[in-house]
Each structure stands twice: as structure tokens, then as C-alpha cells.
Chain A
Amino acid sequence: MDRINPDACLYITDAVCPMTFVKVKVEIEGLRDGQILKIKMNGGEPVRNVPASLKQEGHKVIRVIRNEDDTYTVFVEKGGLG
């Protein structure tokens, strides 16, 4: 699979619900449609909820990578589902 070049990066591994998604929302607002945000988040609740919320807002998850330390790196395309 091709390497994905993100337009912005965000770490939310130190945030808890509901701040996780709030941070993502703020970050994604600064992007244009089609641009890609790379988000590093914890397993469990964040990875179960944040991508589902992104879907509701019309952004498309294009890649999820599970890291060694049980965190996840999620690539999202702004407005990718619109």
C-alpha cells in the first residue's frame, strides 16, 4: 500500500473522552476538504469512538495502523465521505 503523506498531525494520546474528539474537530477545521490528518490515539475507547464520530461528520478514515505500544495511528481525509 502507498505511503500516505499527511497534511497535519495530531496526538491525542493524553486526552480522554470527550476531549479526544473535540481536539480532532478543532484540528480538522483548519484543513481543506481532501487534505489528510494523521491522528495518534490510544486503543480502547478512543479508537472505538473517535473514528465513528469522524464518520458521522463526513470525514473518511483511510488507514488505521496499530502501533507496538497499543496506540493507533489513524489517517483521515477531510470531507472524504461528503
Chain B
Amino acid sequence: MIIMTQKQFEEILVHSLSLAPVEACGLLGGVIQDGAKVIKKVYLLKNIDNSPVHFTMDAKEQFESVKDMRKNGYELLGNFHSHPVSPSRPSEEDKNLAFDPETSYLILSLLNREKPVLKSFNIKDSIVGEEEIILIDGGIDMTKTDYNELKKGGFMRQVQKNRFSLRLRIAGGNITAVQLKKVYDIAKKYGHGYIHMTSRQSIEIPFIKLQDIEVVKKELEKFGLQPGACGPRVRTITACQGCRICTSGLIDTTGLSEEFDQRYYARELPHKFKLGITGCRNNCLKAEENDLGVKGGLKPFYKKENCTFCGLCEAVCPAECITVKADENKLLFDEKACIYCGKCVKSCPTGAWEGQNGFIIYLGGMFGNKIAIGRQILPIVFSAGEVHKVVEETLRFFKEYGKKGERFRNTLERVGWDILEKRLKEVLADG
């Protein structure tokens, strides 16, 4: 019996697919446990014959591999080669060349590319016996593909059989021109020559074939691109262009989205969780739609000594929280009503309003089957560090209290907003 992981199988598959129609070959190192051969490492070797019907392993690479096995305490358990256009069964040549009855001879047939077949054989005096292969974490039969695993890895099952729409991992809606060109190449070569822009700033490449998935992943990887997350976890981090580009921007949405992406992306949770960042009150990115949304704000501070009581700030304030009494040289500011839009700071001709840029956080928004608008339960915070504290604690809360398949808003409604509010205030007070 041979025990190998799905990943090792995929390594063999990708190597073989990429060399087809030439035969691919390699060695398998591992240990024997309770009579089973447990593969620990797959060695992909050069076929110096470079032929579609036979193979000879590069002697030097073979030597290097065995050396590596020894170093790691592995035994040489067997070898593999591919049959690009014939079934998974040893050819006469294979039988004649087999000299070690203890060795496993694995053959991967790519005859039907939709359904590659890997089998293992022991050959003694030209008599062939088949040996069982057990794949751990996944099945070898491609018809038993684990769709949840694929979905988790960004491959969305399509209406069309064995076709997948590949979602890319993109943060803040930005992708480099070079990466975009790679996406173009992949859509042309493996898809149907078009891409789909998702509703949340990601890109999907539809019509990827099941057997191309691994190759496509590898190709993307070379350009720093990865499949995106789906299912019950933190999804694509969305952001407007923020203060790096937009003249209204009050925070660096792009920088924050990259930090969010690195820290929280694809984190496992009871249900999907959306994070979005918008640069200011104009709310182009609609912070309140997200399970956790961040909006740039500017908290104003009034400096009476600079004020000429012109009345402009009163005229521009959308929250009507400023009253200027020009005759009395007085300005009244109802700070509780302030929505931190920064318009007073921006328009005051004499610099009597100064502002501190900050982050307003909204929790519990969702815009799917059910619609709910995110709520602000915390005062504006002024550092990205504090934002991260809030996000971490919120995710922890959701993980702790959320039921499987329950959106964050519903968890909040069920468990109580006050519990989260209290916990968030505590982590913020911790300094």
C-alpha cells in the first residue's frame, strides 16, 4: 500500500501535464510504517530521452535525490513516470526494465486529461501486481473532487461541468499592469478569452478546466498572483483610492487595504466576512455595506484666535453643528453632532479649524439576501494600530460567538451589540 498526500499527487500531475506529450519521471522517497509505504517527498527528474514513449532518468539528478533521501532519513520507495497517451499499465519495456521487486512503479496516465489515472505496480520476474494507493486529504478520483477545497482556493464551480471561474486575490482594487497582462494571457490560454470584474473589486477568469487548475496556479504564482478566497472566511479587501490619489481622501485606504489583506485575508470564520475601506464621507466604497467597514474622517478642533466669524463653516457643515454669531464674535460647535467630514477645516479661510485624520469604524453591515446597514458603536480612532485592534477583536468575537453559517450581523443581534462594544472599548483602552 502506498500513502501519499493530495499535494504530492498534484506535484506529479502538474509535472506530467507540463511535460506532455513527453513522458515525465521521478522518484519517491519516504518511510515504511506498519507495512505501508508513506511518501514523504516527490523528486521530479529530467527524462533525458525526451520521448513520448520511454524515459531514462538523469543519472546525476537520481544520485542527488538519493543523497537527499539519505540526508532526511527516507528510503527510496519507488518511482513514477507518465503515459501521456496510453493507459496506466506497465508496457513491455517497463516490465523488462523493472529489476527490483520491492520497488513501487507508479504510472500516471493522461490518456483522458479530464480524468488522469495514477496506479502503482510491483513487478517481479515480469509479473505485474497492482498496489493500492491511498490519498490523504483528498481523493484521487477526479470525479470525487472536493469542491469546497477548490472554492476555498478561489476556484468557483460553474454551471458547465468541470469548468471553474478562478477568482484572484486582489487588495484594494489594485493590480499591476504586468500582473494584468498575465491575467490576460491566462484568460486567453486557459479560459474563454475574457475576464469578469466581480462586484467587490476582484477579477475572475471563467472557464478554467479542472485539469488546468494546478498549472494555472503555478503560472499566477510567478507573477505574485494568487487565487482568491471564497466561502466562510475573510473575503477580498476592498478600498477606494483614498488620499494617495483622491483629493477628498482623508486616509491611506490603499496602504490599509494591503495591511488588512496580509493580516486577515482568508481567515476562517463562521460565515463570510467583508472588510471595506473608504477614504472619506463621500463613501464611494460604501463602508456600511461591510461586516466591518472603515471610513476616513477628520475630527475638527476650533481655534478661536484665528476666527474672523465669516460664517463660512456654518454654511458648509452638512451636520449643521456649527453656529456662527458674527455680531457677538461667537462660534458654537455642537461636537456630538459632528460627522467628521472635515469640510469646515477644508473651507475655513483663516485656519481657525484644524483637524486630525482618523478612522470611523462601522460594524455589522450586509447587503445580500438580507440587508442591514453597518453601525458606528465606537468613537473615531486615530491610528491604524487601533483599527487593527478593533478588527482583531471583532474577528475573535465572531469566531467565538458566531454559529456556522450565520452572518456577523445576526450574531450581533443574537448575542448583543453591547458585548462586542464592551470588548472593543476594553482593547482600545488597553493602550
CB distance from B150 to the nearest CB of A (A): 49
Nearest A residue (CB) for B308: A62
In the complex, which residues of chain A have a beta carbon less than 8 angstroms from the beta carbon of B349?
Answer: 51, 55, 60-62, 80-81
Looking at chain A, what size class is its interface with the partner chain?
10 to 19
In the complex, which residues of chain B have a beta carbon less than 8 angstroms from the beta carbon of A47?
Answer: 315-316
Docked-complex contact A63 and B311, CB < 8 angstroms: yes
In the complex, which residues of chain A have a beta carbon less than 8 angstroms from the beta carbon of B316?
Answer: 47-48, 51-52
Q: Between A and B, how many residue pairs show CB distances below 8 Å?
A: 48
Whether a CB of chain A sits under 8 angstroms from the CB of B312 is yes
Over the window 309-330 of chain B, the binary record of Cβ atoms lying under 8 Å from chain A Cβ atoms (1 yes, 0 no) is 1111011101000000011000
CB distance from A55 to the nearest CB of B (A): 6
* Bound-complex Cα distance A16 to B312 (A): 20
Interface size on B, residues (CB 8 A): 16
Interface locus among A5-13, A32-40, A64-72 = A64-72
* Bound-complex Cα distance A19 to B311 (A): 24
Nearest A residue (CB) for B348: A55
* Bound-complex Cα distance A65 to B324 (A): 10
* Bound-complex Cα distance A48 to B343 (A): 8
Whether a CB of chain A sits under 8 angstroms from the CB of B244 is no
Residue from A48, A51, A63, A72 within 8 A of B326 (CB atoms)? A63
CB distance from B251 to the nearest CB of A (A): 19
CB distance from B69 to the nearest CB of A (A): 70
Docked-complex contact B309 and A61, CB < 8 angstroms: no
Docked-complex contact B310 and A52, CB < 8 angstroms: no
Residue from A60, A72, A80 within 8 A of B315 (CB atoms)? A72
Docked-complex contact A63 and B347, CB < 8 angstroms: no
Docked-complex contact A63 and B315, CB < 8 angstroms: no
CB distance from A62 to the nearest CB of B (A): 5
For residues 293 through 348 of chain B, which have their beta carbon under 8 Å from a beta carbon of chain A?
308-312, 314-316, 318, 326-327, 343, 346-347
In the complex, which residues of chain B have a beta carbon less than 8 angstroms from the beta carbon of A61?
Answer: 310, 312, 347, 349
In the complex, which residues of chain B have a beta carbon less than 8 angstroms from the beta carbon of A62?
Answer: 308, 310, 349
* Bound-complex Cα distance A63 to B343 (A): 17
Docked-complex contact A51 and B311, CB < 8 angstroms: no
Docked-complex contact B311 and A52, CB < 8 angstroms: no
* Bound-complex Cα distance A62 to B350 (A): 9
Residue from A1, A51, A80, A81 within 8 A of B312 (CB atoms)? A51
Whether a CB of chain B sits under 8 angstroms from the CB of A43 is yes
CB distance from B419 to the nearest CB of A (A): 40
In the complex, which residues of chain B have a beta carbon less than 8 angstroms from the beta carbon of A80?
Answer: 349
Not counting A48-B316, A55-B346, A63-B311, a sample of 4 additional A-B residue pairs whose C-beta atoms are within 8 angstroms of each other reads A51-B312, A52-B346, A60-B349, A81-B349
Q: List 7 A-B contacts (CB under 8 A).
A: A51-B316, A51-B347, A55-B347, A63-B326, A64-B314, A66-B314, A74-B312
